Amino acid sequence: MSEQPFSRLAPFIQDYIYTHGWTELRQVQIEACQVIFDTDAHLLIAAGTASGKTEAAFLPVLTLLHQNPSETVGVLYIGPIKALINDQFERLNDLLKEADIPVWAWHGDISQSRKQKLLKNPQGVLQITPESLESLLLNKNTELIRLFGDLRFVIIDEIHAFMGSERGCQILCQLTRLSQFMQQPPRRIGLSATLGDYALAEEWLQSGTKTPVITPEIQSGQRQVRLAVEHFYLLNEDKLAISPSQLGRQEEGKKSPVPPKSGGQSPVPPLARGVRGVSPINPYYRYLFDISKSSKCLIFVNNRTQAESAIANLRQIAQAESYPDVYHVHHGSISPSLRETAEEAMQGNAPAVTAATVTLELGIDIGQLERVIQLDAPLSVASFLQRLGRTGRRGTPADMRFICTEDEPLGEEWLPAQIPWQLLQCIAIIQLYAEERWIEPIQPIQCPFSLLYHQTMSILASMGELSSAALAQHVLTLPPFAAISQDDFRQLLRYLIDIDHIQLTEKGGLLVGLTGEKIVRNFHFYAVFPYNMEYSVRDASQEIGSIVIPPIPGNRFSLAGRTWEVLEIDVKRKTAFVKQVEGIASSSWRGGGGTIHTKILERMRRVLVENIEYPYLQPQAQKRLKAARNLARSAQLEQDNILFLERSTCCIFPWMGTVAYRTLERFLNFFVRYTLDIRSIGGVSPYFLTLKLGKNSLEQLRDEVKSFCEKDLTGYDLVSSEECPRLHKYDEFIPNNLLRQAFICDSLDVAELREIIKNW
């Protein structure tokens, strides 16, 4: 045991360490102790998954709290999801059994009686989500000194999940607002396993303070990793969701893939019939079943629909082959009780298979996993590392399998539909980390106007009447609004007065208006992310979860990996009453695809044109990549970004990320469409664009695209004066010209596009 840091820890922590058989403190814990004990700096702990980051933060912090108890809440822990808070709550309770330091979890699933106990006697550690913290700031303004006046530390877990998002900006606003109620500013500790640029994270963590940030250098030991990538074609009847892998021929002018024929998935697809002996099981689900059966396995998916489909099919195969039902689904539309059931199953020792979205990607200890499976490619290297980090704990090798899919070929596909985009993306993400240890840098938001509305209304509702100057002082000094001018804020206030969200009093003060009250006093206001009004789904005994639009009575849908028939819809209570039935049905949820970095697309191109063999590719993936490379050579994709498909239709392969792709698409629409008489522009972001030309040649199109580098264009030239893109929760309450400004600053990148085209 390393003497110096260990000897400085509180006696109850030393006892805990001995009792749990620790032979030594890990390097990350030693380094964290030295920063917390010997400096007044903020601390950024950037170390791999299962490296002991949580203990590194809490061991020295709880020691100081034990030595000098705080008069209020002493430590504020902010976590991104309820499941992570629940997990950390149990771990801290175990650690603090012998200490007089209470731990409080606070989020939407915690009872009011438990919350009242904290409010009566605020001490110890408070673990909270940003949404619940917003509720306290808004509703308990007069009690904040009593609650947080002696706050010593703020621990922000999984800070990569907050950086570059409105939710992360919300946290920075909250910490600045809280600071006015404190005796002295608390020190901040940020935790993450997937940071690409430490400087950006340090800048984010320091926001609004002058305290320096120390990031100890943590030597990561060599970790044994087992990777395997396989490829399958999805049969038409097995498709439950539109995904980037579905790249068949598109309607003219459409920008999204064609949905399955006959309107989508039938209530009981051929797989279900195959289980009953009528037709064979689809090889895709057969393979997924074989690599997950009789084990503890986590299946990561990119959307909720994919999770439901995977578990429903696996459960049917298990039932047909007399395997036990060990299958669970974990995503945001599953009821808390069923999510907890899945978590408990994964923390146990018996076989369990759970399909999850990002809800199990972040931090929660799910015990000793045997394997992680990823269906299709993750969107980022950071996500790949987070998911890989769920396995390979406690000294065992990390084991991760990828299954990449694309549509079953019909024999008439255009060139872009013959490229296995998901397979290329998967390989590119693995190689970028294996070769360069590269992780996406997280870009800050420049113009968070939706959050500006949110914080303006929250401050005004919590503080009561304020002059416009006082309100501006409270709002514009918050770190995320550094780039927003007084004039822009003044315009927003005038607009909010016009729509009665803010009221101008006779004395010239500002109050929340009657219309604004309806927004602010709704509990959905606390979150800055959009809320979809979903129907609660209940059977006779319990809540199953929720769904956006339930089918009419008599029809079926899938939820929690099972099939339900609708018995009754209660529109007033937004509730669907159901019964469980046999077979497989489909469900779908709204949701965007996220942003892919340019470096991933550039590496995908290299994967397609280089001759390197990757040892983790399985036979079908090897065969598919070889065929794609032969196709790329014959089409001369290495030499040219713009190719004819047939007659007057051509295709642009930009090999650029989502933001640059969006910028190029707008340039084509605003400046090239009419010059070259382009009849339609379609494509799948960020992989390719299709254009139907008039009488003009491919060479003219190349010249026009390359002319972008010579044109003195800005983002304002690519957005019409009538446009007002509404992308965030409160954009409907923002003046149109400010929305255009936000879209130009944060959703377009003229400089990046210019640099990429120069190299074409």
Domain residue limits, the chain = 3-214, 225-433, 449-526, 535-581, 640-758
Q: Return the sign of the alpha-carbon dihedral for residues 272, 273, 275, 276.
A: positive
Q: What is the pLDDT of residues 114-123, one digit of tens each?
A: 999 999 999 9
Question: What are the φ and ψ backbone dihedral angles of 328, each rounded to 5 degrees?
Answer: -140, 160
Q: Is the pLDDT of residue 240 over 60?
A: no
Q: Please tell me the CATH code under which domain 225-433 is placed.
A: 3.40.50.300
User: How many other CB atoms are found less than 10 A from the CB of residue 209?
Assistant: 17
Percentage of residues in the chain with pLDDT exceeding 70? 92
Nearest-angstrom CA–CA distance, 86 and 129? 11
Task: Calculate helix-pair angle for 449-463, 130-139, nearest 10 degrees.
Answer: 40
Q: How far is CA 232 from CA 245, 289, 552, in A?
A: 11, 14, 34
Q: Is the pLDDT of residue 58 over 70?
A: yes
Least confident of 87-91, 184-188, 373-377, 494-498: 87-91
How confident is the model over 591-620, as a mean pLDDT?
92
Please give the helix or strand (H or E) that residue 190 lies within, else none: strand 187-192
Nearest-angstrom CA–CA distance, 137 and 417? 51
> If phi over 0 gives left and psi between -120 and 50 gives alpha, with beta otherwise, what is residue 294?
left
Residue 593 — pLDDT band, cuts 50, 70, 90? low
Q: Is the pLDDT of residue 251 over 60?
A: no
Are the beta carbons of 61 and 189 closer than 8 angstroms? yes
Pick from 734, 185, 738: nearest CA to 457 = 734
CA angle 210, 216, 222 (to 5 degrees): 150
pTM above 0.75, yes or no: yes
**Beta partners for 691?**
650, 681
How confident is the model over 259-283, as a mean pLDDT?
42
The answer to whether the 225-433 and 449-526 domains have the same CATH topology is no
> Could you tell me the two tokens for 596?
């892919």
Residue 618 — pLDDT band, cuts 50, 70, 90? very high
Residue 698 — pLDDT band, cuts 50, 70, 90? confident
Looking at the domain covering 449-526, what would its CATH class be? mainly alpha
Mean pLDDT of the chain: 89
Who has greater pLDDT, 693 or 13? 13
CA atoms lying within 13 Å on the CB side of residue 642: 18
Pick from 265, 323, 288: nearest CA to 563 = 265
How confident is the model over 164-182, as a mean pLDDT?
96
Nearest-angstrom CA–CA distance, 273 and 162? 45
pLDDT score recorded for residue 221? 64
Who has greater pLDDT, 438 or 261? 438
Looking at the domain covering 640-758, what would its CATH class be? alpha beta
Task: Calculate helix-pair angle for 750-758, 658-667, nearest 10 degrees.
Answer: 90
Residue 657 — pLDDT band, cuts 50, 70, 90? very high
Nearest-angstrom CA–CA distance, 181 and 136? 13
Q: List Cβ neighbours of 204 (8 Å cut-off, separation of 6 or more).
A: 159, 163, 168, 172, 190, 442, 444
pLDDT score recorded for residue 3? 53
With the CA atoms of 414, 416, 422 and 426 taken in that order, what torsion angle do they form, in degrees rounded to the nearest 10? 140
Least confident of 18-27, 160-169, 216-225, 565-574: 216-225
Pick from 429, 430, 428, 406: nearest CA to 243 = 406
Q: How far is CA 396 from CA 219, 224, 349, 352, in A?
A: 19, 8, 15, 18
The topology (CATH level 3) of 3-214 is Rossmann fold (3.40.50)
DSSP per position, 608-648: HH-----TTB-HHHHHHHHHHHHHHHHHTTTT-SEEEEETT
pLDDT score recorded for residue 394? 66
pLDDT score recorded for residue 592? 54
Please give the helix or strand (H or E) that residue 46 lies within, else none: strand 42-46
Q: Is the pLDDT of residue 260 over 80?
A: no
Residue 106 burial by Cβ neighbours in a 10 Å radius (0-12, 13-18, 19+): buried
Q: Return the sign of the alpha-carbon dihedral for residues 242, 657, 200, 194.
A: positive
pLDDT score recorded for residue 250? 35
Q: Is the pLDDT of residue 37 over 80?
A: yes
Are the beta carbons of 45 and 216 closer than 8 angstroms? yes
pLDDT score recorded for residue 534? 81
Q: What is the pLDDT of residues 72-109, one digit of tens each?
A: 999 999 999 887 888 888 888 888 887 889 999 999 88
Q: Is the pLDDT of residue 168 over 70?
A: yes
Are the beta carbons of 78 and 133 closer than 8 angstroms? yes
Q: What is the pLDDT of residues 626-644, one digit of tens each?
A: 999 999 999 999 999 999 9
pLDDT score recorded for residue 202? 97
Least confident of 360-364, 400-404, 523-527, 677-681: 360-364
Q: What is the pLDDT of residues 439-474, one digit of tens each?
A: 999 989 999 999 999 999 999 999 999 999 999 999
pLDDT score recorded for residue 252? 35
Are the beta carbons of 359 and 339 closer than 8 angstroms? yes
Question: What are the φ and ψ backbone dihedral angles of 500, each rounded to 5 degrees?
Answer: 70, 20
